[in-house]
Each structure stands twice: as structure tokens, then as C-alpha cells.
Amino acid sequence: HIMSIEVNGKTIETDDNGNLVNHMDWSEDVARALAASDGLELTQQHLDVIAYLRDEYINNGQNQPMERVVLKEMSKRWGKKLSSKDLYTLFPLAPTKQGNRIAGLPYVARKGGY
């Protein structure tokens, strides 16, 4: 069942979970549209997480890191110790699931982040 979103006059296909069918269709505007549909406004911190998720997927053998790995990486990047709560403040519907969706990446089916 293919659905789609409209971004800048371009139709972008999504799957049942709202994830992009083709991660190459992604752009920052697409991310903003996906986030807006969840009632989120993207900040630089959101974009940092998204950039990291995309980099891992595209440049590291389609790796989709678990939550604790994302947490560790963002703590390093932002120079402060983050808790799981910090990531859930950014992505209330689960950082790896919602984060991957907004990053234009495939749905992660696993439960939890650990």
C-alpha cells in the first residue's frame, strides 16, 4: 500500500508506516514536511540526529543504530551527557523510529532501543 506526500510540488512515495519508499527522495524540505505531519518543528538538534542516522545508513552498510548508540554519538557531538529522555524530547514517538522516518530511511521493526 503506497501513500505519498507532496513537497515543493513533487510527489514522494511513502509506505504504510509513513517511511519513504526511496531514501534518495529525501531532502531537508521533505524532513520538515514529515516532521510537520507529526507536529514537530525541526531544530538544529533534530537535524544533527537525522544527519547521523542518514550517514550511518548510507555510508555504513545500511546500519540503523539502536537508541543507546545514537545517544552516545549525540552526547559526543553536543559535548554533554544526554539521557534517553533528551532524545524523546526531540522525537516523542521514539528516536530511532520517528527519527529514521523523518530522515527518509526504512522503518525499523525492532522493539525498544537497547
Confidence band, pLDDT 50/70/90 cuts, at residue 113: very low
Q: Which helix (H) or strand (E) holds 110?
A: none
pTM for this prediction:
0.92
What are 43-74's pLDDT values in tens digits? 999 999 999 999 999 999 999 999 999 999 99
Residue pLDDT, tens place only, 80-112: 999 999 999 999 999 999 999 999 999 987 665
Give CB contacts under 8 A, 24+ apart, made by 25-30.
25/104, 26/54, 26/103, 26/104, 30/5, 30/104
Q: How far apart are CA 5 and CA 14, in angstroms?
A: 7
Torsion of CA 80, 85, 88, 93, to 10 degrees: 160
Phi, psi of 11 (to 5 degrees): -90, 125
